Structures are given as C-alpha cells and as structure tokens.
Amino acid sequence: EPEVTQTPSHQVTQMGQEVILRCVPISNHLYFYWYRQILGQKVEFLVSFYNNEISEKSEIFDDQFSVERPDGSNFTLKIRSTKLEDSAMYFCASQILTGELFFGEGSRLTVL
Amino acid sequence: AQSVTQLGSHVSVSEGALVLLRCNYSSSVPPYLFWYVQYPNQGLQLLLKYTSAATLVKGINGFEAEFKKSETSFHLTKPSAHMSDAAEYFCAVKKSSGDKLTFGTGTRLAVRP
C-alpha cells in the first residue's frame, strides 16, 4: 500500500542551525501539508501546498520556514534558524481529491 | 472557521466495555469530519471519515461514528474495547476537499484489563 515517507526520523540540532525535513508523498496525490505536534499537545497546521505553490499557511509558519517541491517527488520543510520552541514532531501529509490526508510517521526535531 | 471540540482529554474503560469518545464541530458549511488514531511514537492513521454520504460511518478496527447535524456531533464508538485500542484519538474537520485539516486537542484512551 502506498505511503508517505519522511526522513530523518529524528534530528538533533543546535539552536540557530538550519534544518531540512524531507517527505516523499504518495505519487498521484495533489495536495501536500506540513503539521507539527509539540510533545503532549495538539496537532497544528503549518502549511499547505498545491500546484507548486503555498495555498495556505498558519501564523506559526513565519519567515524562518519555507517549503518546496524541487523535483516533483520530494516535499521539503526548511527551518532557517532553529529555536528551542521549534522542538516538535513534524508530520508531512498528502491528499488526492477525496478529502482524507495520509500522514507520514513523522520527523522528531530536537533543538538544543 | 472550522473547529472541533473533544470533551475529555483522558478516557479510561475496561476491556470489553463500550468506548465513546466525544467530538463536537463548528462549521459554517457542511463539513468533512474525520477521526484519526495515533499509537505511541507513531504517525496519524485514519480511522474513518464523513463526507456527506451516510450519517453512520464505519471505520477500521471496529470503530464507527455517527454524524448528527442537530447536535453538531461526530462521536466515535466501539462496542467492545480491546487492549490494543489504547492510543490517542483525534477528531478533525475541514470545510472542503482541498481545505486544510483542523484537529481537536485529542483524547487519550486507556483500556484496563
């Protein structure tokens, strides 16, 4: 069964460093998303991406964040200069037209 | 804006007992509603979805949910809890197929032997 894959599963970084989280969505899907979940808290929307551009972003998704789909398969989330409060589990998701999102297993980011 | 409220951050039931996890939604248009489950240290797995077809929706692992417009509810039920059902359950809403998904705060289900 097709699935969304994310790498790395866990990344530890120093505050101020750049981080890139990678996702390979399901191949025929059209909408792509990043969500995050701070430990013990709710799952929060960061950004949605459709037709090679951002379709919506939350207030969390500030200038330190960016997304791109460089080669038609990978979908990346970049955090330019990480802060302690960026420590969270980051989930990638993709969707065809039927409404449900398919999520990856997540990338745990720890900022020291 | 769409939102969901999950009553009860923690629910504990005995093995074999009825599971009832509550979700109420707020939406300006007929919503798409979902239940996702998250097992420890894992991603989010779709349990079931409502997209304006049948109001009683059956999902995986014996779970089902009923859309009640008059009560703006979409509660999740399972007749008989199993130990393997212990997980975090999230209700979620979107206003259209291409819209973002908005999650509730989650309900952690514990199952006692």
User: Taking all residues of chain A, what is their mean pLDDT, rounded to a whole number?
Assistant: 93
Mean of pLDDT values over B7-31: 92
CA quadruple A32, A91, B62, B21: dihedral positive or negative? negative
pLDDT greater than 90 at residue B96: no
For residue range A70-102, list pLDDT tens digits in order: 887 899 999 999 999 999 999 999 998 777 899
Residues of B in contact with A35 (CB under 8 A): 103
Verify whether the Cβ–Cβ distance A50 to B98 is below 8 Å: yes
**φ, ψ for residue B60, nearest 5 deg:** -85, 165
**Cα(B90)–Cα(B34) distance, integer angstroms:** 8
**Quick check: helix, strand or coil at residue A69?**
coil
- Best residue of A5, A95, A103, A105 to probe chain B, by most B CBs closer than 10 Å: A103
The whole-angstrom separation of Cα B58 and Cα B47 is: 9
